[in-house]
């Protein structure tokens, strides 16, 4: 009985509570690792918001072994599946590219590549911070429907024929449009933080991630992007991680 309360599928409720991803929840339920109000839960169970959900320690142990990897993606690699002859960034996650400045001391193992997927995209011609994770909780935090995670970029631009001191030539009214007032794919964009970092480079902070968003925003105000680098996602920064190398997200780090 649910006493008239709105119910939802157990896997969805577990994801909402931050316990795991929906896919992970289904795996745990199928293994008999999840109890609802003291009873082993069947697949597809509908639960009330106040249902008592308990997870077996085996599931927690499995989760602790999952890794999240921070990669400084070079140009020429795609974020996800291989396309048009270009390799996916995950091919760089191998022992020889593990940054020797990684403070976690986690040892690389091939099992860490299983289910390792990008949590967000970074264009083939962009560089910088790319997150790959086995942890559905991290993926949901970064790219879930309700995610408003800040992502910070340094963007080198030209304006018409102007390549030096672009800031001086670029109208302040157009900078205001970049901050708020543009639309993509028929949808108004959320407000963005856009400021000059130096006379040829803008700093963007976005809370959404439409395909090629910054390049398309710039096109609408007459700017051409000649270099784009992501330097921060939430509270995690690229820092001194070298191009083409990667490190683990530390236990104490939070997006």
E-only strand ranges, the chain: 8-9, 34-36, 39-40, 46-47, 53-55, 68-73, 117-118, 127-133, 151-159, 183-184, 187-188, 193-198, 201-206, 223-233, 236-237, 246-248
In 3-state terms, what secondary structure has residue 14?
Answer: helix
Structure token digits, residue 63: 């989760």
Between strands 127-133 and 236-237, the pairing is unpaired
Catalytic residue check, 27: no
Q: Are 47 and 53 in contact (CB under 8 A)?
A: yes
142 sits in which H/E element? helix 136-143
Indicate which residue of 3, 26, 56, 123 is catalytic: 123
> Which of 199, 160, 196, 204 is closest to 180 using CA atoms?
204
Catalytic residue numbers? 123
């Amino acid at each position: 009985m649910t006493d008239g309360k709105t119910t939802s599928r157990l896997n969805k409720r577990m994801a909402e509570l931050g316990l795991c991803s929906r896919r992970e929840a289904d795996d745990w339920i199928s293994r008999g690792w999840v109890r609802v109000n003291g009873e082993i839960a069947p697949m597809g169970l509908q639960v009330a918001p106040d249902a008592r959900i308990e997870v077996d320690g085996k599931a927690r142990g499995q989760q602790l072994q999952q890794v999240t990897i921070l990669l400084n993606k070079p140009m020429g690699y795609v974020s996800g599946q291989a396309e048009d002859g270009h390799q996916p960034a995950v091919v760089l996650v191998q022992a020889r590219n593990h940054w020797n400045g990684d403070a976690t001391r986690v040892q690389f193992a091939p099992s860490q590549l299983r289910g390792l997927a990008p949590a967000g995209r970074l264009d083939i011609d962009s560089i910088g911070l790319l997150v790959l994770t086995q942890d559905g909780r991290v993926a949901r935090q970064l790219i879930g429907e309700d995610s408003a995670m800040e992502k910070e970029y340094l963007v080198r631009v030209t304006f018409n024929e102007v390549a030096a001191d672009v800031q001086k030539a670029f109208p302040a009214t157009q900078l205001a449009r970049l901050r708020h007032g543009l639309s993509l794919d028929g949808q108004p964009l959320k407000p963005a933080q856009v400021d000059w970092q130096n006379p040829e480079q803008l700093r963007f902070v976005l809370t959404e991630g439409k395909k090629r968003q910054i390049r398309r925003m710039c096109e609408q105000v007459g700017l051409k992007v000649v270099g784009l680098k992501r330097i921060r996602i939430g509270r995690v920064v690229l820092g001194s991680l070298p191009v083409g190398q990667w490190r683990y997200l530390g236990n104490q780090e939070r997006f």
